[in-house]
Structure 1
Amino acid sequence: MGIVLDMNIRRIWAIAANVFRGVLRERVIYIVGLYTIVFVLAVLFLNEVSVGTEGKISLDVGLAGMALLGLAVAAFEGGNLVRKEIEKKTALVLLAKPMSRAEFIVGKHLGLSAVLMVLIALMTVIFLTIMNWRQIDYGFGSMVTASFYIGLELSLMSAAAVLFGVLTSSLMATVLTFTAYFMGHLSHNLLTLSDKIEADSVKNIAKGIYYIFPDLSRLDLKSQAVYGLLPEPGVLAANAGYGAVYVVLLLAIATWLFSFREF
């Protein structure tokens, strides 16, 4: 059993490593350069127009930029990962070997998640360097923690993108991933709003959206981190676990649906 488990891990690792190298070859690392240029220009501009508040706004813009650029990579690359293998028939070759479809899906997701974590780490270093250059006060721990949770959020969205890529075309998978992201950030507000709605049908729809889409506000620490604040360690751990459960659920659904695909 130990040998089988080791072989399974090796197969997953091989798929993940291949995805990692492949995505980086597509020059997504240029995202870091784009982030640097845009953020430096934004900080210089804010210094001219937001006297007295440019520090907090710069922190907010820096974290939001990481999240949005990372989302673009997760949506475009994640939506194309499985679809590309299906269209090129390379999935048939891979699955003809002793590799399960679950290993294939999990390996794809882990490879993309690794790329996203590297991108977030690099952008975080650049972000903190620029903050030090501009002598803007920030809480180091809160910023690093917020960046880490951005990575967790993007890992969840890459799982959603892989799922959508199994279901539909690459373009539609990308659109659905962006939609899921924005709905995930609105779902908590919808739940709060549903308590004030009298019509049961509308209330049930609002609650249904909340329970279907992940509550991404649990992983969004940007607003708090700007003021040097963070939730309690227990809350942070629970929210990280919430994100991990959603990732596993989405990958399980993607694997189940992929098992019905014929090549």
Structure 2
Amino acid sequence: MFRTIRRVKVIASNVFREVFRERALYLLGFYAIALGLAARLLPEVSAGLADRKILPDVGLAGIHILGLVLAIFVGTGLINKEIEKRTVLVLMAKPVSRSEFIVGKHIGLSAVLAVLVAAMTAIYLIVMEMTKISYDMQPTMITIGFMWLLLSLMTAVAIGFGGMMSSLLATLMTVAVYFMGTLSGDLVNLGKLTENLVIEQMTQAFYLILPDFSRLDLKNQAVYSLLPSNEILLQNAGYGVLYIVLVLTISSILFSAREF
């Protein structure tokens, strides 16, 4: 058990150092510049609305989008890069199981996302204070926590696809899962509107299989301070954690069956 934890920790720390140094710092700098420009320009074009809702919405959306960029484009390439360089053969020759390899990669990238999201949140709060825009701290922090959980789930999906197919195809599949998961509730409603039993069953199946990202995306609720009850928040957090474990389990099984 302790040896497994130690091996996973080594893989995760290597991913953290590599990704944070090569990718995360650039995204962090870009966010700081973009949010600063938005704070400067939005009041001139929004007729004062930026002082209430627009800038907070832009700030939270920026954290979400940049986190997705890192999770998807880096996550899908983590394993393929090892395969292309043939370093995966060296790792597999050591006492490292493929499930440990998958979990280590996920923990490492999720840790990068945690630091990146925390740093962008600090920039966001500083800008809100400097522009004297009012915001509720508790809903904002809860939203950020759920945002990281969503990004961690997307990381699991990206790594899972990356372990089974090329980086390009894995990226396309991960993006498709994100959009379908975001719109899964709407797909069910659309299926009901068609009044076609086959389409209704298909959309219901998609809803049951794909993660419902609306449970973890609380940006709009945070801006208007309309978060769900604590009981629903706990249920949604458990839903996200369960999906991460499920995706990593399936990814480990499929990756274990792959031959190099």
State the TM-score, normalizing by the size of structure 1. Answer: 0.95
**In the alignment, is the contact (CA less than 8 A) between 2:164 and 2:258 conserved in 1?**
no
In the alignment, the residues of structure 2 paired with residue 243 and residue 80 of structure 1 have an alpha-carbon distance, to the nearest angstrom, of: 23
Match of 1:258 in 2: 255
Taking only aligned residues, the RMSD between alpha carbons, in angstroms, comes to 1.1
Question: Is 1:201 the equivalent of 2:201?
Answer: no
> Aligned with 2:16: secondary structure?
helix
Q: Report the identity percentage.
A: 52
Q: Which amino acid aligns with 2:210?
A: F
Give the paired residue count.
Answer: 259
Question: Is 1:13 the equivalent of 2:12?
Answer: no
**In the alignment, is the contact (CA less than 8 A) between 2:102 and 2:248 conserved in 1?**
yes
In the alignment, the residues of structure 2 paired with residue 257 and residue 15 of structure 1 have an alpha-carbon distance, to the nearest angstrom, of: 19
Deviations along 1:85-142, one digit per CA (max 9) or x if unpaired, are 1111111111111111111100000000000111100000000110111100100111
Structure 1 segment 75-154 matched on structure 2, within 5 A: 75-154=72-151
Post-superposition shift, 1:52?
Answer: 3.3
Match of 1:24 in 2: 20
In the alignment, the residues of structure 2 paired with residue 258 and residue 28 of structure 1 have an alpha-carbon distance, to the nearest angstrom, of: 27
Post-superposition shift, 1:196?
Answer: 2.9
Q: Name whichever of 67-76 and 184-193 sits farther off.
A: 184-193
In the alignment, the residues of structure 2 paired with residue 186 and residue 226 of structure 1 have an alpha-carbon distance, to the nearest angstrom, of: 21
Unaligned runs of 5+ in 2: none
Post-superposition shift, 1:209?
Answer: 1.8
Q: Name whichever of 190-199 and 101-110 sits farther off.
A: 190-199
Q: Which amino acid aligns with 1:152?
A: L
Structure 1 segment 203-222 matched on structure 2, within 5 A: 203-222=200-219
Match of 2:246 in 1: 249
Match of 1:70 in 2: 67
State the TM-score, normalizing by the size of structure 2. Answer: 0.96
Q: Which amino acid aligns with 2:149?
A: L
Unaligned runs of 5+ in 1: none
